[in-house]
A and B are shown apart, each in its own frame.
Chain A
């Protein structure tokens, strides 16, 4: 048995952090949370999470950045927005989760080869380069960069997808890819 202590010292908190987050689109009402737990109750994935969405909101609000960013919760969030439509305080919890994912990716606060941020990254690059995503190439690259063994498990599905004509090996590229790149290159305003 592990008898590690769970106490949190106030010095571990970053009290300014949630106030910065509050400025981001969708995160305005962060401090209105009444901790009712309806988000967790309606979330189809909360039962797999280390912190329920409600607890994530409170970790953020109290400035426990490290715990929030290294939680499994933010990666399990499938962006289904159930919490957002249920929240009695109209907190856009999905947007808060996105914000945490962005920050965690930025600071590499996830296990190496953890597939979700890898997928996000690969998807991001593919679309940037070609303007469209290709499910086949995406899965291939995800496997290469996370765990190639997962391809083994996909053989059956892949077989069926090819057989039913649903797997396109062609990676499409849009004509206006340069136009798109110019658009994406437009710098953001400084906050």
Chain B
């Protein structure tokens, strides 16, 4: 009865966010939910396209949705929050604005692609929450988490208009999933505040400052790690900790994990397949935790 999940990796999962893809694949394999990558997908357009040409942004997403449709699959999973939002926004605007609909339909036609109706864009967090459920996730746990409390960071675009990952104000599903697999979470009041997105690459100081606030609040709340669901959030929080330390004089060495890594770990996956070695910050801490777990601890 294994159902296969079509997924749209997006550019980040093939580069800076490669650990996300690796751990997701391993996690879904353990859960016996085979993953299939959408063939010949193109970039989602992210936020930059909207700023240049909104109609092209819709065209880009439309091709991906149409390819999914051609695949005969009604669900398309997009792990990156930006891809997820852009795909859903495209669907929403195509539905809401006849002019956008006509343009997208004409564009797909001239590319020889079918109209993209009926594809449901989903996020792996919500797939795990709805299709698997907390109870089943809990039943799969074979390793005890020794990393102490974590801060669940939802970031922005996954929990905003057009989305169905969780409610926009005070989302809790990631916290619930973490608790279900035995990972304590802290009350993280900045859980939906933006990491700055591409700002770290452009107006660097401002972007880094936002990440400083996020790291500081997590530390203040006693979190040993931050768990994310978006490759850009993970990158921003992970890559600039040394710089933040220099600027602020406060020391940070916080592992920034994907929720898929934590779940994979709890379900007994080979840590090497979860991409833990791809993190920049908190490597010492991670090594410590995993050293204790050299022998996998089985629950009887």
Contacts and interface: CB of A to CB of B under 8 A. Distances in A.
Given A25-B97, A127-B42, A127-B60, A182 B161 contact: no
A13 interface: no
A180 B42 contact: yes
Given A79-B47, A85-B169, A156 B242 contact: yes
A132 B157 CA distance: 21
A127 B169 CA distance: 33
A189 B99 contact: yes
B48 interface: yes
Contacts of A186: 59, 103, 106-107, 110-111
B110 A185 contact: yes
B14 interface: yes
B280 interface: yes
A117 B204 CA distance: 14
Given A44-B193, A183-B59, A124 B52 contact: yes
Interface string B225-241: 00000000000000110
Contacts of A131: 42-43
B15 A167 contact: yes
B234 to A, nearest CB: 10
Interface residues of A, number: 62
B201 A142 contact: yes
Interface in A116-145: 116-117, 119-121, 123-124, 127-128, 131-136, 139, 142
A82 interface: yes
Given A120-B48, A166-B278, A183-B108, A132 B11 contact: yes
Contacts of A81: 85, 156-157, 160-161
Interface residues of B, number: 71
A174 interface: yes
A139 B295 CA distance: 42
A179 interface: yes
A171 to B, nearest CB: 11
Interface of A: 25-26, 44-45, 48, 75-76, 78-82, 84-85, 92, 98-99, 101-102, 105, 115-117, 119-121, 123-124, 127-128, 131-136, 139, 142, 150, 153, 156-157, 160-161, 164-168, 172, 174-176, 179-180, 182-186, 188-189
19 contacts: A44-B194, A48-B206, A78-B194, A81-B157, A102-B53, A105-B51, A115-B202, A120-B52, A123-B46, A123-B48, A124-B56, A127-B42, A134-B15, A135-B16, A156-B242, A164-B277, A166-B17, A176-B40, A183-B63
